[in-house]
Amino acid sequence: MKVLVTGGAGFIGTNFVYHLLRMHPQDEVIVLDKLTYAGNLENLKSLSAEPRFLFVKGDICNRDLVQSIVQKVDAVVHFAAESHVDRSIVDAQTFLMTNIIGTQTLLDACRTAKSVRFHHVSTDEVFGSLGIRGSFRESTAYDPRSPYSASKAASDHLVRAAFHTHNLPITISNCSNNYGPYCFPEKFIPLAITNCLEGKKVPLYGDGMNVRDWIFVEDHCAGIDAILRRGKIGETYCLGGRSERTNREVLQQILFELGKSEDTIECVTDRLGHDRRYAIDFSKAEQELNWSPETPFLHGLRRTIEWYRTHEDWWKRIKNGDNQNVLKK
């Protein structure tokens, strides 16, 4: 199968490219990535001599470019997005452009190409915020509450509309919080690890009791791959990590692993509209695809810490380089 991976120079996209090339020796991969602040070609440098891999720098909103690439592939796995909630609160415009218009541009191109399979990578944040009990599942009503999640919700609707209106062979996944190698250090876990390694404090929003369900990125990639190959056309699958933790618990574990004291925690003003809790019921993916997350949280967290320990050059270049104007922490 020849697969177009949009956003393949970002966190999950990078992990997915390596997953595909490792697990499917017949597959070929084209990455289309604009290389925004979050995209990093260095992530893919070990593939420069790989004959099954091609990188194209470009914007998913560029109709001509997208059309010319989509015609060459059997499937599109669509990761490209503006992905950070805090940024969407400060300025939502690029989120609307990439996440909504960019997704529609890809769908339009798939429609004019011959039978291209389209998998849309989305988020559990489209479902809103949970109380103490309950979990999101495929039938949960949409209730996005940040500009980021609203833009992702819009993109999900457009993908479903392409299925119902044009019979496009699509699937959608809504996944919980990922962690692991190559995650840009503005997200909570890599920010906490790298700040600790630099001897800095770690900002904890509000009372630190917001809950996320953490999934190791390789488990997410395996889930997407399972949907791409075995998922039912037109269907949505929720993917989760079976690892609900408060932010305070996650941070305390990181501090423990790195031998830091609780003084490292800096309680700061809460995020505007901060969703309280996410949790995922992934039984549909378990039953239909025989997929479930395999990495226990502590194991995945230790692998992640080790990766950041051994890849100081990678994150220090980001933290000290051109991106420092947008990284306030």
Site string for ligand NAD, 184-223 (x = CB under 6 A): x---------------------------------------
Cβ proximity to ligand DAU, 47 vs 85, nearer residue: 85
Number of residues that bind ligand NAD (CB under 6 A): 30
Query: Binding of ligand NAD at residue 69 (CB under 6 A)?
Result: no
User: Judging by DSSP bridges, how do beta strands 211-216 and 244-246 pair with one another?
Assistant: antiparallel
Query: Structure tokens of 229?
Result: 């190959």
148 catalytic per annotation: yes
Return d(Cα 24, Cα 5) in angstroms, integer. Answer: 15
Residues with Cβ within 8 Å of 127's Cβ and at least 6 positions away in sequence, in order, are 136, 140, 141, 142, 143, 144, 174, 278
Cβ proximity to ligand NAD, 35 vs 327, nearer residue: 35
Query: Binding of ligand NAD at residue 136 (CB under 6 A)?
Result: no
Query: Binding of ligand NAD at residue 128 (CB under 6 A)?
Result: no
53: left (phi over 0), alpha (psi -120 to 50) or beta: beta
Q: Which does 66 bind (CB under 5 to 8 A by kind): ligand NAD, ligand DAU, none?
A: none
Q: Which does 85 bind (CB under 5 to 8 A by kind): ligand DAU, ligand NAD, none?
A: ligand DAU
Task: For residue 140, give the H/E element and its range.
Answer: none
Q: Least distance from C-beta 177 to ligand DAU, angstroms?
A: 4
Burial class (CB in 10 A: 0-12, 13-18, 19+), 324: exposed
Query: Binding of ligand NAD at residue 96 (CB under 6 A)?
Result: no
Query: Binding of ligand NAD at residue 9 (CB under 6 A)?
Result: yes
Query: Binding of ligand NAD at residue 83 (CB under 6 A)?
Result: yes
Within 10 A of 227 (CB to CB), how many other CB atoms are there? 25
Return d(Cα 182, Cα 9) in angstroms, integer. Answer: 9
**For ligand NAD, which residue of 47, 69, 70, 80 counts as binding (CB under 6 A)?**
80
Query: Binding of ligand NAD at residue 152 (CB under 6 A)?
Result: yes
Question: Which entry of 33, 82, 124, 218 is annotated as an active-site residue?
Answer: 124
Query: Binding of ligand NAD at residue 247 (CB under 6 A)?
Result: no
Query: Binding of ligand NAD at residue 245 (CB under 6 A)?
Result: no
Cβ proximity to ligand NAD, 28 vs 213, nearer residue: 213
124 catalytic per annotation: yes
275 catalytic per annotation: no
Q: In what order do the strands lie in the sheet with 117-123?
A: 53-57, 28-33, 2-6, 75-78, 117-123, 170-175, 236-239
Question: Which entry of 59, 82, 148, 179 is annotated as an active-site residue?
Answer: 148
Contacts 24+ apart (CB under 8 A), 95-99: 95/147, 95/148, 95/151, 96/147, 96/151, 97/61, 98/34, 98/59, 98/60, 98/61, 99/148, 99/151, 99/152, 99/154, 99/155
Question: Which residues here bind ligand DAU, judged by CB under 6 A?
Answer: 83-85, 123-125, 176-177, 187-188, 191, 203-205, 210, 212, 247, 271, 278, 329
Bridge-partner residues for 56, per DSSP?
32
Cβ proximity to ligand NAD, 146 vs 264, nearer residue: 146
Query: Binding of ligand NAD at residue 33 (CB under 6 A)?
Result: yes
Query: Binding of ligand NAD at residue 149 (CB under 6 A)?
Result: no
Q: Least distance from C-beta 23 to ligand DAU, angstroms?
A: 24
Using N-to-C axis directions, what is the helix angle for 63-70 and 103-112, rounded to 10°?
A: 50
3-state secondary structure of 270: coil
Burial class (CB in 10 A: 0-12, 13-18, 19+), 42: middle
Site residues for ligand NAD per CB under 6 A: 6-7, 9-13, 33-36, 38-39, 59-61, 79-83, 98, 102, 121, 123, 152, 175, 177-178, 184
Catalytic residues: 124-125, 148
